Structure 1
Amino acid sequence: MPAFDWRWGALSAALVIAAATSATLAKGKYDPGATDTEIKIGNIMPYSGPASSYSVIGKTEAAYFNKINAEGGINGRKINFISYDDGYTPPKTVEQARKLVESDDVLLIFNSLGTPPNSAIHKYMNQKKVPQLFVATGATKWNDPKNFPWTMGWQPSYQSETQIYAKYILKNMPNAKIAVLYQNDDYGKDYLKGLKDGLGTKGLKMIVAEDSYETTEPTIDSHILKLKASGADVFVDLSIPKFAAQAIRKMAEIGWKPTHFLNSVSASVSATMKPAGFDNGQGVISAQYLKDPTDPQWKNDPDIKAWNAFLDKYYPDANRSDAFVIYGYAVSQTMVQVLKQCGDDLTRANVMKQAANLHDVVVAGLLPGVKINTSPTDFAPLSQLQLIRFKGQTWERFGDIISSDVSN
């Protein structure tokens, strides 16, 4: 038996220690919901109830994360996407958020939908210090990093959007008589505030009628009749798709033909315009920041080609005329970008740090010139819109890309 060489033994031990140390350094820094192999992402969607037309967003996101996983995941980690139904009912949202955070141990909740549902879990998520990231609502209050550092929106804010409509009305229809319909909650009131702020003290006199509806109402026909009776020649409709479609149909039925502004979250061809009847929706004005896949101008666009290829493979049943599908596609890319920037530091604090450091990020599906930017003091990733008008069976863009910071 050969003699043991203590020098080789010491060297071997040193190599083993070095390897172990290197392995330790290579391992990630984690909070609940993240490991060397997995990232758990929570989500809450209205798969049932009055806002169920938005549910395709959650289905698109699940499909996109399946694509990412099939391609090797993010920095070697697979996404475990856990999505629950809340029926657009805030108490149910609270229940599902608690389940995701306290039972499923997700790293974060991503793109949960709706202003009332997200408002119900706003304080809870910040108390728990769990990211409530890229919420699917344009309420202005999501951009409040000082008081709610764990919550961030994604789309342009509702107030900014209606300020743009107000400026358009003041410039092009200075003698307008405006009627407004809005949802009686934070979502509708946020849109309404933006409109009034945009009109200013003088412009406020242009509003001759405003009415609100509850999401529990089966129809808004009576509200449309009431607003028509005001004599308004401009109608600003701040409702979700189900009621937006009802409004367009009823207006055609009673022969009311004001200049019609429709909030962008209801500008889906399949969820609003088709159910309303294409003939009934001609000339409706809205705003967008995403490419409309039904618009012929994008037929050979690389983004839309890639989007179609993605749907062919991972979500073949998707309705490609539904704007919410490309919304889900774009916001999912933003989430992936943040997680890539996190590297091996998958703590909740670092997720928010990276989300607050997005600089001129372009994701497939955004209109040319629209970029994602955030900072530690600005939690509004998107702030640009373009006006669109419904013609035929699709939307046509007009005017320039407008920054939603219209007060400057």
Structure 2
Amino acid sequence: MRALVTGLIAAVMTLSAPAWAQSKSPGKAYDVGASDTEIRIGQTIPHSGPGAPYGVIGRSMKAYFDMLNETKGGINGRKVVFLSMDDAYSTPKTVEQTRKLVEQDGVLALFGSTSSAGQLAVQKYLNSKGVPQLYLFTGASRWNNPKEFPWTVPGQALYPTEGHILAKYALKKVPEPRVALLYQNDEFGRDYVKGFREALGDRADSLIISEASYDLTDPTIDSQVLKLYQSGANVVLDASTGKASSQAIRKMAELGWKPLHLISSTAVGAPMINAAGKENAAGLTTARTFRSLGSPEWANDPEILQFHAFRKKYLPNVDPDNDLAFIAYSAATVLALGLERCGDELTRKNLLKQMTSMNGVKAPALLPGVAYAITPNDYTPFRKLYISVFDGQKWNQEDID
């Protein structure tokens, strides 16, 4: 009877084994999500809802690994399964999809997820389980905390750093600045404003004459923009994302209001600019690390030409000037490098080690002189940024320290 029960249990376990169950050869080390034949990577991102323009990030990353699987057999002989799940920019949905990726889909790590609020909601969960939360497409300062949250690594310039740089630029550019703040009412917006205020120093309260915030659920931000316009401000810090960014740019143009418009680098992708109208976005100023596909100076750049060849075959419905797609493709090359460096030790701990040892690594979308700066003790993604000004057709860079 005991032998029969043991046999039945073994049979049930075999039948119920998930698709991601490990297959390991001698001399190889795997965690959940890796085997002799595949590597499973997850992501949560808004493919729908107010953040839908960012969905192209997930599509681009998946397409990149589909390309590697087709042309090179994956990485070190293993196919990469990239699961990009829609969270609709909703924190409860982010939590739901993250738990599914970890507990049901069995991913080795998460990579390139977005939404500051959503990622904050799953940060403790992922760190408690030792699941890498890699290269987030959000620059909240809290992500750079390797001592308390070693499994969480940011992948874009930190918001306070951008805010600080833009404030310094405004002080140099405008002799008598009268500043208005427009910001998303969440971790992202408050973090950005904090860096901006700190750079203004003791003059912050006197220079900032008006503030307006919005929630992701607001259908429009016209009233917020109108309030700031009526203040008479000649400088606007715009810490917005997605459709709100397009609405702000368009409404300011409708009002004939032309302050120095400082905006988050998360809001300057082609989908947002095109939705607002390129002519309306002239003068838009940001601090960035990435090249723009629409700039004539990069038209014949080999890496950009390679991206366009990739886009035409694997992302035929993505516009040629979609910078978000290019940035996502670029980030995917860094993940591929990290996975390649893991060799046959595809454990979560080793992947984290490789992805936090990228100091000096360059990627296709980065501006000349910019490289990843991530080290095991400091997760700051980039230490060099450029002020970029949109002239209605292309972005022009100004070198800054």
TM-score (norm 2): 0.91
Alpha carbons 1:159, 1:190 under 8 Å: kept = yes
Give the equivalent residue in structure 2 for 1:251.
252
Give the equivalent residue in structure 2 for 1:185.
186
Write the distance in 1 (CA, Å) between the matches of 2:61 and 2:47: 13
Q: How far apart are residue 60 of structure 1 and its match? A: 0.3
Give the equivalent residue in structure 2 for 1:153.
154
Calculate percent identity across the aligned residue pairs.
45
Give the equivalent residue in structure 2 for 1:68.
68
Give the equivalent residue in structure 2 for 1:240.
241
Write the distance in 2 (CA, Å) between the matches of 1:119 and 1:96: 14
Write the distance in 1 (CA, Å) between the matches of 2:97 and 2:50: 18
Write the distance in 2 (CA, Å) between the matches of 1:38 and 1:291: 32
Is 2:391 aligned against 1:400?
no
Write the distance in 1 (CA, Å) between the matches of 2:392 and 2:113: 33
* Matched letter for residue 389 of structure 2: R
Write the distance in 2 (CA, Å) between the matches of 1:64 and 1:302: 17
Alpha carbons 1:43, 1:109 under 8 Å: kept = yes
Write the distance in 2 (CA, Å) between the matches of 1:359 and 1:391: 33
Q: How far apart are residue 277 of structure 1 and its match? A: 1.8
- Taking a change above 3 Å as real, the CA distance of residues 326 and 292 of structure 1, as seen in their structure-2 partners, is same
Write the distance in 2 (CA, Å) between the matches of 1:26 and 1:333: 29
Deviations 1:66-108 (A, max 9, x none): 1111212111111011121111101111111110101111000
* Matched letter for residue 229 of structure 1: Q
Write the distance in 1 (CA, Å) between the matches of 2:294 and 2:389: 13
Write the distance in 2 (CA, Å) between the matches of 1:139 and 1:266: 15
Give the equivalent residue in structure 2 for 1:300.
300
Is 2:130 aligned against 1:129?
yes
Q: How far apart are residue 212 of structure 1 and its match? A: 0.5
After TM superposition, the structure 1 stretch with the greater mean CA deviation from structure 2, 374-383 or 184-193, is 374-383
Write the distance in 2 (CA, Å) between the matches of 1:53 and 1:220: 17
Write the distance in 2 (CA, Å) between the matches of 1:318 and 1:367: 22
Write the distance in 2 (CA, Å) between the matches of 1:377 and 1:333: 23
Give the equivalent residue in structure 1 for 2:349.
349
Alignment of 1:3-402 (within 5 A): 27-70=27-70, 71-269=72-270, 271-397=271-397, 399-402=398-401
Alpha carbons 2:111, 2:135 under 8 Å: kept = yes
Write the distance in 2 (CA, Å) between the matches of 1:351 and 1:401: 33
Give the equivalent residue in structure 2 for 1:15.
none
Question: How many equivalent residue pairs?
Answer: 377
Deviations 1:344-385 (A, max 9, x none): 111111111111211311111211111112211111222321
* Matched letter for residue 226 of structure 2: L
TM-score (norm 1): 0.90
* Matched letter for residue 333 of structure 2: Q
Q: How far apart are residue 257 of structure 1 and its match? A: 1.6
* Matched letter for residue 103 of structure 1: Q
Write the distance in 1 (CA, Å) between the matches of 2:277 and 2:141: 32
Q: How far apart are residue 171 of structure 1 and its match? A: 2.0
Deviations 1:174-231 (A, max 9, x none): 4200001000000111111110111111244211111100111111010011111111
Write the distance in 1 (CA, Å) between the matches of 2:167 and 2:359: 29
Write the distance in 2 (CA, Å) between the matches of 1:316 and 1:204: 49
Unaligned stretches of 5+ in structure 2? 1-23
